[in-house]
Amino acid sequence: MEQLRQEYMEIKVLIDAAEATSTRKIKEEEKRVNTKFDNIYQILLKKKSEIQALKEEVELALTKGDEFEFLEKGIKLQGVSTKPVYVPKVELNQELIKSVSQGTSDLKDELKRYIRQAQDKKPEEPTGSGNPGEHGPASTPKPTHFAKKFPKEEKRPKKPSPASASATKMPTFGAPEELLELKQSSLESVGKATTAQLNAAALKAKVLETFLAKSRPELLEYAVKFSLDYNTAHNKVALSENYSVASVADSPLNYQPHPKRFVYCSQVLGLHCYKKGIHYWEVELQKSHFCGVGVCYGSMPRQGPESRLGRNSASWCVEWFNTKISAWHNNVEKTLPSTKATRVGVLLNCDHGFVLFFAVADRVHLMYKFKVDFTEALYPAFWVFSAGAMLSICSYK
């Protein structure tokens, strides 16, 4: 079982690596096109400013009371020409996208085909005379491909004694030698399981250590972009700027009832959830008093005091309560050192079971880490309480 687990773990790592490579190619193509569009946008902005300045001069000339001054200004304006802006054609590399998509689809189909073939093969069962104590030639399994590696031993027919025949038909495990063998076998199984657990724990610790040493540019390689989920927002949480900013509303917003909506705490979740992979996002805090940033399961309560971030077993967060900063999980508080940073980075590693909170300034500084074997998909989660408190999901252009 341990060998199988290791094999499948390697398969998963290979698939994750293939996914990361494909995603990187698409992101690079997206970045290339976005950069071109940004350049075009800047050119158009500059042209717009020129036309706006010319428009203002025309309107100013129309206000002149002196006819000669108006005509003089009009002649000057006639000499000003506005050339059309050349906008180059910008297109995605459809061949690249098609190639990446087709490669992923082919890999999926190949895996399905192989798994289906493996399931269709019925294992050959040994046949016998029906007596479990007798093992004649008919019960000998057919040689497999492993038999080619080892020479077949010649079997000499032996005449079983009455004692051995009875022992074969009715096996007992009362003899000291057999008890010793069973005990040794059990100890070996426990030892293997313990070794596997130690190896898995060592791997997780190594991965965690690696991420703690990463710089901000390295963390941004795992950056994700998401919007806030309108259906989860409490009636006192106002969403703005294309659902990327959460703030405290002056009066209740009378949102439509929804089973996912928070009705007790002024909280909101991200629209997307993450069950596997590594994901990073940053949040800008404006007036960082009485607000919180964290992650939670979709099954987190929506009503009552236990629905507050960190006050249940389904959420983990870092919270600003006036001037105090704390980490919360399962209603247990851990007070943290204060920081002047107004930006928080969250690194969620679903595969190796940890979530890290960083204070982001010129460099990133670890605020707190939670090590958890996550059992559900996780959502970005936010709490805003005091007037003026505002959280913004950062973009990474």
224: CATH: 2.60.120.920
Same domain, residue pair 226 and 355: yes
Same domain, residue pair 223 and 370: yes
The rounded distance, in Å, linking the Cα atoms of 205 and 352 is: 9
The rounded distance, in Å, linking the Cα atoms of 171 and 146 is: 29
Same domain, residue pair 112 and 250: no
The rounded distance, in Å, linking the Cα atoms of 245 and 394 is: 9
- Could you give the number of structural domains in the chain? 2
In a domain, 388, yes or no: yes
Which of 92, 119, 146 is the last residue before a domain boundary? 119
In a domain, 75, yes or no: yes
Structural domain span for residue 274: 216-393
Which of 97, 119, 141 is the last residue before a domain boundary? 119
- CB distance 387 to 307 below 8 Å: no
List the one residue out of 226, 248, 250 whose CA is nearest residue 380: 226
Residues 179-195 as b/e (b if ≥16 CB within 10 A, e otherwise) read eeeeeeeeeeeeeeeee
As a dihedral over the C-alpha atoms of residue 325, residue 329, residue 334, residue 335, rounded to 10 degrees, the angle is: 10
DSSP string, 242-279: TTTEEEE-SS---PPP-TTS-SSS-EEEBS--BSSSEE
Same domain, residue pair 87 and 236: no
| CA geometry: angle 245, 319, 265, nearest 5 deg | 65
Here the tokens at position 122 are 């019925």
Is 0.75 topped by the overall pTM? no
In a domain, 62, yes or no: yes
Give per-residue pLDDT as tens, 296-313.
999 999 999 999 999 999
The rounded distance, in Å, linking the Cα atoms of 360 and 227 is: 21
Same domain, residue pair 383 and 253: yes
Residues facing residue 364 across a β-bridge: 360
In a domain, 371, yes or no: yes
Q: How many residues does the chain have?
A: 397
Q: What is the pLDDT along the chain (397 residues), one digit of tens a residue?
A: 888 887 888 888 888 888 888 999 999 989 888 888 888 888 888 888 888 887 887 778 777 777 887 788 778 777 777 777 778 788 888 889 999 999 999 988 888 888 888 777 766 655 554 444 444 444 444 444 444 444 444 444 454 444 444 444 444 444 455 555 555 665 565 555 566 666 777 888 889 999 999 999 999 999 999 999 999 999 999 999 999 999 999 889 989 999 999 999 999 999 999 999 999 999 999 877 889 999 999 999 999 999 999 999 999 999 999 889 999 999 999 999 999 899 999 999 999 999 999 999 989 999 999 999 999 999 999 999 988 889 999 987 5
Strand ranges (E), the chain: 237-240, 245-248, 267-269, 278-286, 291-297, 315-321, 324-329, 332-336, 343-349, 354-360, 364-371, 378-384, 390-393
Same domain, residue pair 108 and 250: no
List the one residue out of 357, 350, 356, 352 whose CA is nearest residue 378: 350
Same domain, residue pair 220 and 109: no
The rounded distance, in Å, linking the Cα atoms of 306 and 322 is: 21
Which of 85, 119, 153 is the last residue before a domain boundary? 119
The rounded distance, in Å, linking the Cα atoms of 188 and 192 is: 6
In a domain, 160, yes or no: no
Same domain, residue pair 113 and 225: no
List the one residue out of 254, 266, 241 whose CA is nearest residue 386: 266
Same domain, residue pair 236 and 361: yes
In a domain, 293, yes or no: yes
In a domain, 189, yes or no: no
